[in-house]
Amino acid sequence: MATTFKRILVGVDDSADALLAFNYAIHQAKRDDAELVIVSVLESDDMNVYQALDSDYIHGEHRELVRHVAEYQKQAEDAGVNKVKMLVAEGDPGETIVKDVIPHVEPDLLIVGSEAKKGARRHFGSQAAYMAKYAPISVLVIR
């Protein structure tokens, strides 16, 4: 018998793999009639020191990301997912999702893309592998 999930967490960051993961998560949520929680993480190490110290910049970036994730939420709702939530966190994506988001959201499945969109962490070894290793729930890595 196939496993059904009640709450699915999907990480999004605009990379091609994350978009694949998002589409897969929509399909899985519809199949299982599961709640879909969409998360994106504002990475502080993408900012220079002046931006990181500028609360207006941080709030602007945060607001922009919230707006962007809201578009994902609408897309999931338009695709027929009945229960969709979203959240934006800040920090290192892998650690933040494992240590903060998962305990808060309590999903039974995490779906992530294998490569992040930019920076030194672009290759699979990093964020997705970290989450797969340390998350206390099943992790599906899409590529």
Q: Which pLDDT does position 143 carry in this prediction?
A: 87
CB 46 within 8 A of CB 118: yes
Q: What would the two tokens of residue 104 be?
A: 């808060």
What CATH superfamily classification does 7-142 receive?
A: HUPs (3.40.50.620)
* Residue spans per domain, the chain: 7-142
DSSP designation for 64: H
What is the three-state SS of 86-139? Answer: EEEEECCHHHHHHHHHHHHHCCCEEEEECCCCCCHHHCCCCHHHHHHHHCCCEE
CA pair distance 79, 30, nearest whole angstrom? 9
Query: In this predicted model, what pLDDT tens digit does every residue of 83-129 receive, in sequence order?
Result: 999 999 988 899 999 999 999 999 999 999 988 665 544 444 578 99
pLDDT digits (tens, 9 = 90+) for 49-63: 777 778 887 788 889
